[in-house]
Structure 1
Amino acid sequence: MKKDQLIKSLIAGLFSAITIGALTYLTYKTTFGLFLIASFGSSMVLLYGFPESPFAQPKNIFFGHFLTSAVGIIVLNFIPLPIYITIPISVGLGVGLMILLDVTHPPAGGNPIIVIIGSVSYDYLLSPIILGSIIVLVFGIVINKFVLKKKYPQKWI
């Protein structure tokens, strides 16, 4: 293993733990609400391991999570079909729309599954999706740009 690869992996792991730790603390140790979703864990891989990737840019992280979660909620509430049909429909729609709208964030592809299995309400879009994504992005920008001195974000829009 190369020294650079070892350092990159340790840094990505450390800052992923710090970011997810903050979301976990807010979710379980405060009364502010829900801030944590499983797909944020996958977002850490891109945000800290590959911040130069187009999939790791703020626009993609925020709108990818928002769009796919919204699709899941809409399908859940307006398509009265069995779960084994609504899940693939919502994932397909979410992935297709992310690509169409140029906000592709691969970890967000799982959000419709989370939404439908959890039978979440519209409030889920505010917390954890919007607020959690904003917190993830604040950590990502501060850590990548100011701590690690990387050119992040590569582009805002």
Structure 2
Amino acid sequence: MQRFWHHLKQFVGYSDISYSHTEKTVSALGGFVAILGILWVTESLLGFPASLALVVSMGASSILLFANPHGQISQPWSLFGGHLLAAAIGVTCAQWISEPFVAGALTIGLSIAGMQYFRCIHPPGGATGLTAVLGGEQIQQLGYSYLLTPVLLDLLILLTVAMAFNSLFNWRRYPAYFQRQVEGAAKPSLPTQQTSLTHGDFLDALKQMDSFIDVNEHDLKKLFELASQSAQQSQLSAEDIQLGRCYSNGAINDDWEVRQIIDESPNALPEKDQVIFKQVAGKRQTQSQHLSRQAFAHWAKFEVAFENNHWVRKTADSK
């Protein structure tokens, strides 16, 4: 059953990563303030119900800017480029193609390609382009002025609120450029053995993956440094390996394993100090095996415990 739930979570893309209540509250309040302003301005310009169609796409953008302010698709270039490019394509298709279904489908197809070529992927922009085609006669009569009012005006409101609101919290400045400036001034990255990796190395790696990833190379480098520091600080010794406890190798996906110590044969000589273990989680099912306590400690990255239907890492405070 544990394996079933493990693979099911991987299949549907469920993440065990959680965030603080403060972070969730801040994100919600930011989105509320931004959309309140956009609703007021757009309704004043277009009236009801024409304003609602555009506000839908701006609402999706507000989720990105306040729930994921440091993500690549949330940055100003993606925000403005994605919406304005799709809006221009949508207006053009609406004027030249009489069949709305064809015009709408072509708008999305061309918007995807355009965002990729101009490196401004922003999914909510697709809805802005569709609104130009399917938003009704009142919006279609605006022609290319649709790009300025209300689209550009709404984007400026959203950008202003995102910059001002997120600036109140030192862990979530927007755009991400400001957050990197704050982090760089506050505390330089701790040196690790892997810090020889450069900006170009990460760009080359992203290019080789040949797929859009919602992360920039700065965040990747920071994540890599923090993970390296965590790995260095969590090395287990032979004395840490105790009877009855469970340990994980900390690997990813199919290589991840959890082993439990079920017996031991203590000895003053390291090579004869043996432990017997069984695998209790992971893809590869094995019979009970034995290793020296020292070799097992080299395999294990940290101690784990099964809580609330999933494996969690044991910290020094929880032991």
- Please tell me the TM-score bracket, short chain as reference: 0.7 to 0.9
Task: Tell me the equivalent position of 1:15.
Answer: 30
The alignment's TM-score, normalised by the length of structure 1, stands at 0.86
**Which moves more between the two structures, 8-17 or 53-62?**
8-17
Does 2:124 correspond to 1:107? yes
C-alpha separation between the residues in 1 aligned to 2:33 and 2:78? 21
Distance of aligned partners of 1:77 and 1:24 in 2 relative to their CA distance in 1, 3 Å threshold: same
1:86 to 88, 95, 103: 103
Distance of aligned partners of 1:124 and 1:102 in 2 relative to their CA distance in 1, 3 Å threshold: same
Consecutive unaligned residues in structure 2, runs of 5 or more:
1-15, 179-319
Residue 132 of structure 1: CA displacement? 0.8
Contact 1:57 1:155 in 2 (8 A): no
Contact 1:90 1:112 in 2 (8 A): yes
Residue 84 of structure 1: CA displacement? 1.4
Does 2:70 correspond to 1:52? yes
Q: Where does 1:1-157 land on structure 2 (aligned, <5 Å)?
A: 4-28=19-43, 30=44, 33-34=45-46, 37-80=55-98, 82-119=99-136, 120=140, 121-144=143-166, 146-149=167-170, 150-155=172-177
Larger strand share, 1 or 2? 2
Cα RMSD, aligned residues only: 2.2
Secondary structure of 2:109's aligned partner: helix
Can you list the C-alpha shifts for 1:71-123, whole angstroms capped at 9, x where unaligned? 0001111233x111111111110111011100111111222221111242222
Contact 1:37 1:128 in 2 (8 A): no
C-alpha separation between the residues in 2 aligned to 1:123 and 1:83? 20
- Structure 1 or 2, whichever has the larger Rg, is 2
Residue 151 of structure 1: CA displacement? 3.6
The alignment's TM-score, normalised by the length of structure 2, stands at 0.44
Can you list the C-alpha shifts for 1:29-49, whole angstroms capped at 9, x where unaligned? x5xx24852101000111000
C-alpha separation between the residues in 2 aligned to 1:77 and 1:109? 17
Can you list the C-alpha shifts for 1:46-85, whole angstroms capped at 9, x where unaligned? 10000110000011101111000110001111233x1111
Contact 2:39 2:55 in 1 (8 A): no
Larger helix share, 1 or 2? 1
Consecutive unaligned residues in structure 1, runs of 5 or more:
none
C-alpha separation between the residues in 2 aligned to 1:110 and 1:2? 29
Contact 2:76 2:175 in 1 (8 A): yes
Residue 6 of structure 1: CA displacement? 2.7
C-alpha separation between the residues in 1 aligned to 2:76 and 2:27? 17
Contact 1:65 1:108 in 2 (8 A): yes
> Relative contact order, CA 8 A, sep 6+: which one is greater?
1
